[in-house]
Amino acid sequence: MIKAANRLGLVFFPAYDWAISPTHPEREERLLYTQDQLKEEGIFDIKGITEIKPDIATETDIMRSHFCFPDVASVTTESHLISAGGAIRAARAVMDGEVDSAFALVRPPGHHSMKCVHGNRGFCNINNEAIMVEFIREHYKVRRIAIVDTDCHHGDGTQDIFWHDPDVLFISLHQDGRTLYPGSGHLRELGGPNARGRTINIPLPPYTSEEGFIYTIDEMVLPILEDFKPEIIINSAGQDNHYTDPITNMNFTAHGYALLNEKLKPHIAVLEGGYSIQGALPYVNLGIVLAMAGIDYSHIKEPDYDKNYSPQDEEITDYIKQLREPVLDNYFNPKPDMDRAPEGKFTLRHKNIYYDTDGIQESQREYIMTCKNCRGVLYIESSASINPPCVGIDIPVDGCSRCTKEGYRLFEEAVRQRNFITVQMTDRVNKRYERHSR
């Protein structure tokens, strides 16, 4: 009998009755063959591996991370609540000591969902990892969290949500944004004025192979994590770096994903993208499960591996080696933000965001307070092609009394002005989540 060296919780929710559209990559069939493979391998019979039913995320869970416009119900369906609930359940299993680590194999994905939500972008409505992180911080005494996003696409949503948060280290390795959706995730993106160096982007060239990914983990990700000393490590486990993925151009393998996980040792992994549902997902997911459980995964190999996988070009190896120094510099010696406002004042950032799935255009004015006692109150005015102007105010975890007071002043003023169809207030200090709609 096989026994897992590490107790692993698997929250498996394939949502067999939900799709974005009948032929969309994000459709009912996506995890079917993964489930077949896991069942055939007898994964659920392995001592130490437990399958866990997801929770259903509540409105409060979502409001902790997002400003939903006009409201939560308008931008989410049950599938999103279950997917986010799956991540929450995985976190609970780990935090309550039921298991050593957990893998939420859930869909739909979430890492392209930003702080403000008007609809779906990059197949995502709400950000499963972010909702999970805020759930953890609200219910457990955990402050320092690292998210390592290994999806092939830049985790722009997660980056946006934790942009101003010095306690959450977000590292994204992805196919270079110049060659792939969403087009962001460049080296110069390294966090807001109060959280410089807490967002780290590693844009990898197309056709990066096992060698390049493992080098990136060994030489960039692990040294940074070692310094940051997170209490919890989360892996946004997208699987679209696989050499068979139909919508990307990377050259990674199931064995590589397993090895990456073994090195990263995430407490919680949450599935993101990955659309080679027959040729990659069954093997990649199996690899991740075995690696997380501490079981030998050396016998995992894709059926077409010998035919279709090729090792990395030297040119790519050299390119990736040159990324090391600037990436480490971004974390260890981040350049300060030139626009940073003086203490007690707001720094303004303009943002334009396109929601590709739903075809929505959004404009934002985002204000963050410079504060020496907390990470600063956040105020965002957002208008979108489908919604008139809306406002979101966020008083952060461990927010100081000045920022809390300022948050409520901004809230009352936004409500009084009557210019906004909806004003959301997220007060993490007093755990109050309110919405005022006109």
Partner 1 sequence: MLLGIDVGGTHTDAVLIDEKKGIISKFKVKTDKKNLLSTIITALKEVTSGFDVKKITNVNLSTTLSTNAIVENRLEKTALFISSGPGIDPSNFSIGENTYIIDGSIDHRGNEVAPLDMASVEKAINECRKEGVAVFAAVTKFSTRNNRQESEIAEKIGKAADYITMGHELSSQLSFPRRAATAYYNSAVWRIYNSFIDAIIGGLENIGIEAPVNILKADGGTMPLTVSRKIPVESILSGPAASIMGIIALSNIREDSVILDIGGTTTDIAIFASGSPLIEKEGTSLEGIPTLVRSLQNRSIGIGGDSKIKIIDGEIAAGPEREGPCMADGGSVPTLVDALNYKGIIKYMDTSRSAEGIKKLAAGTKFTPEEIAEKAVSYSIRLIREEIKKILDDLNQKPVYTIHEMVHGQKISPEKMYLIGGPARALSAVMSDGIEVLVPENYDVANAIGAALARTTFETELFSDTGKGRMVMPNIGIEEQVTRKYSLEEAEADAKRHTSEYLEKSGYRIKDSDINIIESTSFRMIDDYYASGNDIRVKCQVRPGVIMYLHN
Which residues are tagged catalytic? 112
Q: Residues 62, 171, 286, 395: which binds partner 1 (CB under 8 A)?
A: 286
Cβ 30 to partner 1, closest distance in Å?
10
Least distance in Å: CB of 199 to partner 1?
33
- Residue with smaller CB distance to partner 1, 219 or 262: 262
Residue with tokens 């480490």: 328
Interface size with partner 1, residues (CB under 8 A): 47
CB of 81 to partner 1, least distance (A): 9
Q: Between residue 225 and residue 264, which ones bind partner 1 under the rule CB under 8 A?
A: 246
Q: Which is nearer to partner 1, 299 or 350 (CB)?
A: 299
Q: Which of 6, 33, 181, 187 binds partner 1 (CB under 8 A)?
A: 33
Which amino acid does the sequence have at 299? Answer: H
Candidates 178, 227, 238; CA nearest to 200 is 227
Binding to partner 1 in span 292-351, by CB under 8 A: 295-296, 298-303
Q: Give the Cα separation of 427 and 434 in Å (integer).
A: 8
Asked if 79 touches partner 1 (CB under 8 A), the answer is: yes
Of 98 and 313, CB closest to partner 1:
98
Q: Which residues touch 355 (CB under 8 Å, ≥6 apart)?
A: 118, 119, 120, 121, 361, 362
Nearest to 319 by CA among 214, 205, 223, 213: 205
What letters, b where the CB count within 10 A reaches 16 and e where it falls short, cover 125-162? Answer: bbbbbbbbbbbbbeeeebeebbbbbbbbbbbbbbbbbb
Q: Please tell me whether residue 21 binds partner 1 under the rule CB under 8 A.
A: no
- Interface pick for partner 1 out of 8, 82, 117, 152 (rule CB under 8 A): 82
Q: Which of 283, 331, 346, 367 binds partner 1 (CB under 8 A)?
A: 283
C-beta closer to partner 1: residue 234 or 290: 290
Q: Which of 4, 7, 18, 100 binds partner 1 (CB under 8 A)?
A: 18
CA dist 269 and 250 (Å) reads 21
Query: Using the rule CB under 8 A, which residue among 20, 32, 386, 397 binds partner 1?
Result: 32
**162 close to 199: Cβ distance less than 8 angstroms:** yes
Least distance to partner 1, CB of residue 278, Å: 7
For residues 6 and 417, what is the distance between their CA atoms, to the nearest angstrom?
55
Stretch that binds partner 1, among 128-136, 138-146, 212-220, 282-290 (CB under 8 A): 282-290
Evaluate whether 12 touches 286 at the Cβ level (below 8 Å).
no
Q: How far apart (Å, rounded) are the C-alpha atoms in residues 40 and 299?
A: 15
The interface region with partner 1, picked from 51-59, 113-121, 195-203, 421-429 by CB under 8 A, is 51-59
In sequence order, the 6+-apart residues with CB closer than 8 A to the CB of 50 are 7, 8, 9, 10, 93, 98, 99
- Assess whether the previous peptide bond of 282 is cis (omega < 30° from 0): no
Other Cβ atoms closer than 10 A to 376:
31
Which of 28, 211, 231, 313 binds partner 1 (CB under 8 A)? It is: 28
Least distance (Å) between residue 42 CB and partner 1: 4
Place of tokens 């032929």: 23
Q: Measured from the CB of residue 354, what is the shortest distance to partner 1 in angstroms?
A: 22
Instruction: Quote the CA–CA distance of 56 and 79 in Å, as a whole number.
Output: 9
Stretch that binds partner 1, among 23-31, 110-118, 135-143, 224-232 (CB under 8 A): 23-31
CA distance 5 to 17: 35
54 is an interface residue for partner 1 by CB under 8 A: yes
One DSSP character per residue, 151-183 reads SSS--HHHHHHTTT-TTEEEEEEEE-TTSSTT-
Shortest spacing between CB 206 and partner 1, in angstroms? 19
> Should residue 41 be labelled a site residue for partner 1 when binding is judged by CB under 8 A?
yes
Q: 390 — phi, psi (to 5°)?
A: -130, 165
Among 20, 56, 214, 397, binds partner 1 (CB under 8 A): 56
**Judged by CB, which is closer to partner 1: 258, or 260?**
258
Shortest separation between residue 393's beta carbon and partner 1, angstroms: 32
Q: How many CA atoms lie within 13 A of 360 on its CB side?
A: 22
Residues near partner 1, by CB under 8 A:
1-2, 12-18, 22-23, 27-29, 32-33, 35-37, 39-42, 44-45, 51-54, 56, 78-79, 82, 246, 278, 282-283, 286, 290, 295-296, 298-303
